[in-house]
Amino acid sequence: MAFTIAIDGPAAAGKGTLSKAVAAHFGYAHLDTGLLYRAVGARTLQGAEPIAAAQALQAEDLEADNLRTPDVAQAASKVAVIPEVRAALVAFQQAFARRDGGAVLDGRDIGTVICPDAEVKLFVTASAEVRATRRHKELAEKGGTQSYEAVLQDVIERDKRDSERATAPLKPAEDAVQIDTSDLSIEAAIAAAIAAIEARR
């Protein structure tokens, strides 16, 4: 039976961690939809045309090991504002969402655009400063040299671009349960997400 959980939110709010934990808890398949845009963005950095790259996307493209770099993140945010790119990736996401056995999708517009009929919608957020601190630590652990100030600026610019774009702007669905992870431990945030899902099942 299909059961779709849509988890949205801005960069570094914790939605990826929550989504993986929720999928594991319920035994559902998981799709980080941001990887679709990152895979297209990575292709454009290699000279590909964004719309063609989106139309040719394959599941194995999501396993490339360069998809988490800051350059690819910026490229992904830029291609995500192109309506034809979004259209090419919508079908991929919707098919995944309705697979048998349940699915968890996380991204920016899952509950509002991709799966407006999802059985459960969560919107995970945190302050820009908290998210920048998390992202800065993550980048530093991978050998990154960006300052906290530069990371915070990136987060703010990305939020602005994601929330102000004409097509599928980042915003909570009207019926989404909001979880602010600014002051929550990972365990507490996961528990809150699981409780919200259990209440809807």
DSSP letter string, the chain: ---EEEEE--TTSSHHHHHHHHHHHHT-EEEETHHHHHHHHHHHHTT--HHHHHHT--GGGGG-TTTTSHHHHHHHHHHTT-HHHHHHHHHHHHHHHT-TT-EEEEESSIIIII-TT-SEEEEEE--HHHHHHHHHHHHHHTT----HHHHHHHHHHHHHHHHH-SSS-S---TTPEEEE-TT--HHHHHHHHHHHHHHH-
Q: What is the pLDDT of residue 68?
A: 87
**Helices 186-200 & 15-26 angle (0-180, nearest 10):** 50
Could you tell me which CATH number the domain at 4-200 has?
Answer: 3.40.50.300
Spell out the domain ranges in the chain: 4-200
What is the phi-psi region of residue 39: left when phi exceeds 0, alpha when psi lies from -120 to 50, beta otherwise? Answer: alpha
Whose CA is closest to 34, among 56, 11, 6, 65? 11
pLDDT for the residue 53: 96
Q: Which residues are annotated as a binding site for ATP?
A: 9-17
The Cα 116–Cα 46 span in angstroms is: 34
Query: Which residue in the block uniquely carries the two structure tokens 């992904």?
Result: 76
pLDDT of residue 186: 94
pLDDT in tens, the chain (201 residues): 889 999 999 989 999 999 999 999 999 999 999 899 999 999 999 999 999 999 999 888 998 989 988 899 999 989 998 999 999 999 889 989 999 999 999 999 999 999 999 999 999 999 999 999 999 999 899 888 899 999 999 999 999 988 998 888 899 999 999 999 999 999 999 999 999 999 988
CA 52 to chain centre: 22
pLDDT at residue 166 in the model: 85
The predicted model scores a pTM of 0.86
Indicate the annotated binding residues. 9-17
pLDDT confidence of residue 1:
80
86's CB contacts (< 8 A; 6+ apart) are: 80, 167, 168
